[in-house]
Structure 1
Amino acid sequence: MAKQLSVSPLTASLLASRGITSLDDAEMFLGGSLDALHDPYLLLGMDKAVPRIRQAVEQGEHILIYGDYDADGVSSTSLMIFFMRHLKASFDIYIPHRSNEGYGLHNHALDWAHQQGVSLIITVDTGISAVEQIAYANALGIDVIVTDHHEAPEVLPEAYALINPKQPGCPYPFKGLAGVGVAYKLAQAILGEPPVEWTEIVAIGTIADLMPLTGENRILVSRGLESMRRTSFPGIRALMEVSGIAMGSVTATNVAFGMAPRINASGRLDHAGSAVALLTSDDADEAQRLSHALDELNKERQQVVESIVEEALGQLQHKCTDGSVPDVIVLAGEGWNVGVVGIVASKILERYYRPVIILGIDPETGMCKGSARSIPGLDIYEALTSCKDLMDHYGGHPSAAGMSLHKDQLQAFEEALNRFAAAAMTEEDYIPVTAADGEWKLSDVPLDVIDEIEMLAPFGMANPVPKLIFRGTRLVETRKMGKDGKHLKLVVRQDGARMEAVAFGRGDLADVLEEGMTLDILAEVSVNEWNGSRKPQLMLQDMRIVGPQVFDLRDAKEPWRLVQQIYDRISPHMRLDRKQIAAVFNPRLESSPKLHLNDCTLWVYDKNAGISAYNDAAHTYDADQITTLFMIHVPDSADQLDTLLATFKNLSNLFLLHSGRNQAEKLTVPSRDQFKLLYVLLMRMAAEPIREKEALLRLSQQSSATLRMVSMMMDVFEELSFIERRDGHIVVIPKPPKRELSSSAHFSALGSLAEMEQHLLYAGTSQCTSWMISRLEGAS
């Protein structure tokens, strides 16, 4: 394929991984036009809907467009407004209020429509499940044409016409249309070729509703984005401006993260009608006013979300007193805005990688409305079905759902879901997995290849932005950037190729990265354009540090407080559980730790055992689980250090927080000449027994060794029977046996201790960390 298309092996590989395996498929994927769209009359029900709409227009019937409050519903309603205007039809629109009315058709809205003289209702992005409501409309003498894209229930409504590619028996080849896509097909059936600019509306709804950007959706979204770059719609122009999107370079990502949240904010906090008014406005001043109003609503929505997230996390911490997080997180609060609980659930899932349900409680009625977000390991719809008797209503998909229940059922609801999850899920289900597009070298992504990859855009569901793995890169440079150092910028090198890498919102990681370390990187590739120059750039998605890390934080003034700060900073990035963290300290120097992380494992140095467990967590959790160790004090001996590293076999992070020793206590690796000099000095002053304190002081002065060093050298002499210690005095043995220094255990211990302290207490950062890494890796 690389040869046939004259593209790089990387681009050809990306096409193949997306199921594009022939030249014809590739040409359609890369250059499909509106001419390639399927015949709209292949949609079941279209043949009935078209003549009914034509009849209504010709006879001047009053038509009601009934939509939904999310971005797809807003887009669908907006598209139908343009369609009705084009037909010069008499029409009205109705979108239910999310909080006051809820999703779907409502009988009171049908009564209102009847009073307005409506004889035909066209639903968009809703209606496929409205069996009772459509029966009621029929009784009122109103015909209903349903256009929808949601999963069809077992019992379908008796509408005048049902148009939904997912309904049983529908031969339409592409099942992934958004609600706005189905509405567009209706317009296409009547008009033949709808105005090209309408694809802009289709693109917004399709992207916002997370529909797969394959098949017809890819064609419609590509054409819509192309048109949007020179849009004539005042509303879209104003929306892009307030979202900070350069009109000439708008992408699916811009729509998803810039425009869609602002459209959705209207339905979440107010009424979706304001977003419809914006998209369909033909007045630039009105569009400016409406777009700024939506922007303010979105800012308010962000604040509401942050407030609920903070409250929810506090609730969760209170629940998890033993440090373990439930299999399914269920949190509920009075006054939590039900319009944003799905966003809150997503944010908490992102942090804990658990299925999450967030519910808002109505304080007057006690009713709870909530949203669920799940991980691949748990079908949340199936989990809800297992306890359906506890809920008034529920519905959804494997990854997202909604429900309502009374607060009296909350505890039973949470327990039932956790029982189901415990039986259905394994440990591996709780490990986040990111799909990547293979392992490549930095040299594989020069500018021309990155430009080539853009041919695969628009990126979105079922056609994600390529994520590439680069193994064994060397970190050359690290720095924080942006306001308050919020973002991270790296420079990495691999086999002579050098490239910048950026991670937004991860500035804190600069504190735990050190130049020279080896990184495996997961990244998206992009082009950094600045002052007319273009160069390749990596957008970091994740990274792994190859080999253990040692962090030099020696002489920390408040080491226990620093432990807490480090945990708070790194645990979200590293998904650390407290049972993976240990701290070790010397009980002689500190009687009890000043640590709030009471459920992390605490250990103490032990003269006999090397180290021993200090708290219940240390007795409970397997030491093999420990990946991060905080060393509050230096071991008393090299043997203790060896025992420490042997106990925690899987350490990947070691934080050194101990204080340096006073130079007056410094040890040096002893030499034979030092012992010879000390022995000669001792012989001169100790013809008679001499008080040990006096001898040590004089020997220290005459040999330039510290008191501590001299005292430990005395231990060696005593072991070798060169001296005896009697009642606080030193007695020199006149004719000691001949014994090698190397035969003394104290001599070996002194040498090992001096070497350890030289590196841990007195060496610079590079020498200290390198020595500890060599010990962690098992080097002698």
Structure 2
Amino acid sequence: MTLINWEKRKNPTNEEITKFAAEKHVDRIVAELLLERDITDTADIETFLHSDSKELQDPFGLHDMDKALEIIDEAVQSEAKIAIYGDYDADGVTSTSIMKLTLQKLGNKPIFYIPDRFKDGYGPNMDRYKFLADQGIDLLITVDNGVSGKDEIKYMKDRGIKVIVTDHHDLPAELPEADAIVHPTIPGSEYICPYLSGAGVAFKIADALLGEDAMDLIDLAAIGTVADSVALKGENRVIVTEGLKQMKKNHHVGLTALLKKCKIKLSDISEEDIGFKIAPRINALGRLENASSGVELLTTGDESFAKEIVDETEDINSRRQELVQSAFADAQSQIAAQKDNGVLVLKGNDWHQGVLGIVASRAMDQENKPVLATQFDENSGVMKGSGRSPEGFNLFTALNKHNDLFMAFGGHAQACGFSIEEAQLDKLTELLQAEPKEQDFDPQAPVIKDYDLNLKIEDLNMDLIKQIQQLAPFGMGNPKPVIKLSNVSLSQAKSIGKDGSHLKVNVTDNSRQVAAIGFGMFAQEQAMNTDICDVYGEIGINEWAGRKNLQLMLDDFQVSPEAKKIAGLKEIYLDYRNKRLSTSILNHFDSIVFFNEVYYEAAKRSNVQAKLIRYDEECDGKNILIYDRPHNLDLFKNFIKENNTQHTALFFHTDLTERYLKPDMIKMKTLLKYLYTHQNITMDGMDLVAKYLNLQKIDVDFYLKVFFELNFVKMVNGFVEKANASQQRELIESPTYLKRLQRNDVEKILIESNFDDLLSWMSDYDCHC
């Protein structure tokens, strides 16, 4: 299991947060989150918190946009045959859908082609380009791909076919000779928002061609933007924010059907619904089948046809989930067998090629190691594989050193795809084990993750969610804030899910609690050896049967430093507070410690063989028992600061429980008022006074002693009368009252608290810590 070290993203002081919140007119939570994200300029804050369509940028700021529009306009006017070449993931499907609907709005009827993951591979495919050319097309528009298709695009140009490339992926050393390349990071023509997804680029073309009508397509652009994990900064925030608004209008028949199948409530739809429900279903099409049906779904106007595709999509996604679960479970034995390897190479046992990337990703998260997941492809007779690696390890660099072993290979620092003969894969596995050391990557080192807010359970409420939500949409570059709850406990843990691996639990601080869900965390909870931990997670709302309740989505929980101290003290201190002590038990101890002289003298008259000592004498022996409770906590603090014995049992006996009653201010005032307004009250008459005022006689005796010490009352000729006090007095000026408070502290901390809380308090003073 991967170890995680959590660090505060940034540490603005309370003074800085308060000042910033006042200056920028935002809530404290919002102020802290903005400071942590380095969003401090007033104008930047305004656009970040209040993104709207007015902040959409001029589409003609993109490279070659003017050329692309001129070519498209000419093609539409001449009724030319246009083909769209997309990609099989959610970004590629939405990009293709946006381009198709845009051209249809202009009166053209384009054809489209979505590559097959298994037959065509990723990106431009020469055979498919030839196929499209043979269809007699006049214009090819690539979406979410194309910049790497130098040879394929040259082929199209040689056939007299115009080509517009729209893409957002990393640029190759040499660009293809297309008629126009619309891309946000062309050197010298960098766009104001370089993070656009493929769908974002397609939407900008729609914006340039359709103007305001392009807003009908921004919901599709939002799906591609979230699905492709591009940074949710600048214009991408606008696209997602406005896209979510557009989804609520039920504009696209197919998307509406998909939302309904996902049981997404339109009024509450969020970027999380896109990321966890919509995008995975669209991606599943390209993983197991051909993703063309995804384009058909998002562009159809036929409700019954849309429902058919949605039902098919749901079946495919369910199958994808089962395949992933089965393959990942199957991989565990190989992961265990390679526990000493720095790079894991997994061979599938009938794993579906479409889920190799997910298996590699899950194994990487579990082990914090680079992972190659492979499966033998019967059609080609070679191993097909996908790789994933954690931050700090460049997978592309590692594999590219051995490029001669591959039949095909491509990717980037954290992900790759390849084809390789099985014999060469075995050779590669051995060679890769030197790479972690070469890159100074330690897979055993803890992963560093950031949290944003250090709160208490009492701080978790609906208003907090509203404040956090002001920074939405969340995603890459603007992660959902992670909350840390320190020194809390997990209670009522239950395993949930089909395989029982998920955790449902309450997080509590003994006074309040919040429900929590942790995916894949049940085993982790069961392995915890302490009740006290630090919990990390995102706060949200769980709606069930019409009721909304707070729910924490767990990212992690760890034994807290406090819990580690307590665990150490449990090796030293024993809880004897509710035990019955016999002489034989007492004689098992080397020494017995007393804080009160009366118990010490009584013990000396018994036949206890253990050494009897006062608290301020030197302790002898390895095992001692503290017999009675001290009069105040300072005595006990000083004792444990010096007590270096191996084992100490805490008994804290007393037979004076009545002396630990808590002073009641209302009762004290009632008694004092009565004494001030009545005459001829003697001390012998206090029984009747107590009975009349419904007070305990022991309370009356205590309150009277305090009143006398503070000169509130005095004795005159045997009667209790009001004293003529010349100055205001505080209750704590009474030695009796102060002693009572001190004893109440002793009662609360040493006697009433549970053992973990007692040890937690002791850890601040004990010499063993």
Q: TM-score, normalised by structure 1?
A: 0.69
**Distance of 1:344 and 1:476 partners within structure 2:** 30
**Distance of 1:653 and 1:749 partners within structure 2:** 15
**Distance of 1:428 and 1:114 partners within structure 2:** 49
| Structure 1 residue corresponding to 2:554, chosen from 540, 560, 569 | 540
**Distance of 2:340 and 2:430 partners within structure 1:** 13
- 1:183 counterpart residue number: 202
Report if aligned partners of 2:389, 2:414 keep a CA contact under 8 Å in 1: yes
Task: Answer yes or no: is 1:487 the counterpart of 2:487.
Answer: no
Task: Answer yes or no: is 1:218 the counterpart of 2:234.
Answer: no
- 2:226 counterpart residue number: 207
| Structure 1 residue corresponding to 2:74, chosen from 44, 47, 55 | 55
| Structure 2 residue corresponding to 1:361, chosen from 376, 395, 416 | 376
Equivalent residues in 2 for 1:191-270 (5 A)?
Answer: 191-270=210-289
1:336 partner SS: coil
2:342 partner SS: coil
Structure 1: which 5+ residue stretches go unaligned? 551-626, 628-648, 655-665, 674-739, 760-765
The residue identity in structure 2 corresponding to 1:151 is D
Q: Note closer, same or farther for the CA distance 1:667–1:284 as it changes in structure 2 (3 Å cut).
A: farther
Equivalent residues in 2 for 1:309-708 (5 A)?
Answer: 309-317=328-336, 319-320=337-338, 324-333=339-348, 335-363=350-378, 365-427=380-442, 430-473=445-488, 475=489, 477-480=491-494, 486-493=502-509, 499-508=514-523, 511=526, 517-529=531-543, 536-546=550-560, 669=585, 671=587
Structure 2: which 5+ residue stretches go unaligned? 1-19, 572-581, 590-608, 612-619, 626-645, 651-752
**Distance of 2:758 and 2:467 partners within structure 1:** 46
**Distance of 2:246 and 2:201 partners within structure 1:** 20
Task: Answer yes or no: is 1:145 the counterpart of 2:160.
Answer: no
| Structure 2 residue corresponding to 1:7, chosen from 5, 9, 26 | 26
The residue identity in structure 2 corresponding to 1:283 is D
1:221 Cα offset (Å): 0.7
| Structure 1 residue corresponding to 2:134, chosen from 92, 96, 115 | 115
1:277 Cα offset (Å): 0.9
1:165 Cα offset (Å): 1.1
- 1:587 counterpart residue number: none
Equivalent residues in 2 for 1:88-107 (5 A)?
Answer: 88-107=107-126
The residue identity in structure 2 corresponding to 1:15 is L
Q: How many residues align?
A: 587
Q: Note closer, same or farther for the CA distance 1:520–1:60 as it changes in structure 2 (3 Å cut).
A: same
**Distance of 1:114 and 1:510 partners within structure 2:** 59
The residue identity in structure 2 corresponding to 1:488 is K
Report if aligned partners of 2:91, 2:197 keep a CA contact under 8 Å in 1: yes
Q: Note closer, same or farther for the CA distance 1:651–1:308 as it changes in structure 2 (3 Å cut).
A: farther
1:771 Cα offset (Å): 12
1:398 partner SS: coil
- 2:103 counterpart residue number: 84
Report if aligned partners of 2:29, 2:467 keep a CA contact under 8 Å in 1: no
**Distance of 1:108 and 1:512 partners within structure 2:** 54
Q: TM-score, normalised by structure 2?
A: 0.70
Deviation readout 1:62-97 (Å, 9 max, x if unpaired): 000111111111000111111111011132111111
2:87 partner SS: coil
**Distance of 2:109 and 2:307 partners within structure 1:** 28
Deviation readout 1:141-188 (Å, 9 max, x if unpaired): 111100000000001111111111122222311110000111111111
| Structure 1 residue corresponding to 2:150, chosen from 113, 131, 137 | 131
- 1:290 counterpart residue number: 309
**Distance of 2:385 and 2:552 partners within structure 1:** 38
The residue identity in structure 1 corresponding to 2:404 is D
1:266 Cα offset (Å): 1.0
**Distance of 2:189 and 2:477 partners within structure 1:** 23
**Distance of 2:485 and 2:75 partners within structure 1:** 61
Q: Note closer, same or farther for the CA distance 1:509–1:370 as it changes in structure 2 (3 Å cut).
A: closer
Deviation readout 1:340-385 (Å, 9 max, x if unpaired): 1100101111221111111122246442221111111201122122
**Distance of 2:520 and 2:431 partners within structure 1:** 37
Report if aligned partners of 2:587, 2:610 keep a CA contact under 8 Å in 1: no
Report if aligned partners of 1:547, 1:652 keep a CA contact under 8 Å in 2: no
Report if aligned partners of 1:467, 1:524 keep a CA contact under 8 Å in 2: yes
Report if aligned partners of 1:478, 1:513 keep a CA contact under 8 Å in 2: no
Report if aligned partners of 1:68, 1:96 keep a CA contact under 8 Å in 2: yes
Q: Note closer, same or farther for the CA distance 1:651–1:281 as it changes in structure 2 (3 Å cut).
A: farther
Which deviates more from structure 2 when the two are superposed, residues 264-273 or residues 422-431?
422-431
Q: Note closer, same or farther for the CA distance 1:110–1:503 as it changes in structure 2 (3 Å cut).
A: closer
- 1:30 counterpart residue number: 49
Report if aligned partners of 1:355, 1:373 keep a CA contact under 8 Å in 2: yes
**Distance of 2:567 and 2:23 partners within structure 1:** 49
Report if aligned partners of 1:65, 1:91 keep a CA contact under 8 Å in 2: yes
2:348 partner SS: strand
Identical pairs, percent: 34
1:193 partner SS: helix
The residue identity in structure 2 corresponding to 1:526 is G
Which deviates more from structure 2 when the two are superposed, residues 79-88 or residues 36-45?
36-45
1:449 Cα offset (Å): 2.6
Report if aligned partners of 2:207, 2:214 keep a CA contact under 8 Å in 1: no
1:519 Cα offset (Å): 2.5
2:147 partner SS: coil
2:450 partner SS: coil
Structure with the greater relative contact order (CA < 8 A, sep ≥ 6): 1 or 2?
A: 2
1:19 Cα offset (Å): 2.7
Structure 1: 4+ residue segments shifted above 6 A: 649-654, 747-752, 766-775, 777-780
- 2:173 counterpart residue number: 154
The residue identity in structure 2 corresponding to 1:669 is I
1:196 partner SS: helix
**Distance of 1:652 and 1:92 partners within structure 2:** 73
The residue identity in structure 2 corresponding to 1:305 is V
2:448 partner SS: coil
1:4 Cα offset (Å): 4.1
- 2:14 counterpart residue number: none
Q: Note closer, same or farther for the CA distance 1:133–1:476 as it changes in structure 2 (3 Å cut).
A: closer
**Distance of 1:771 and 1:201 partners within structure 2:** 57
The residue identity in structure 2 corresponding to 1:100 is K
Deviation readout 1:307-342 (Å, 9 max, x if unpaired): 22222222333x33xxx3311111123643222110
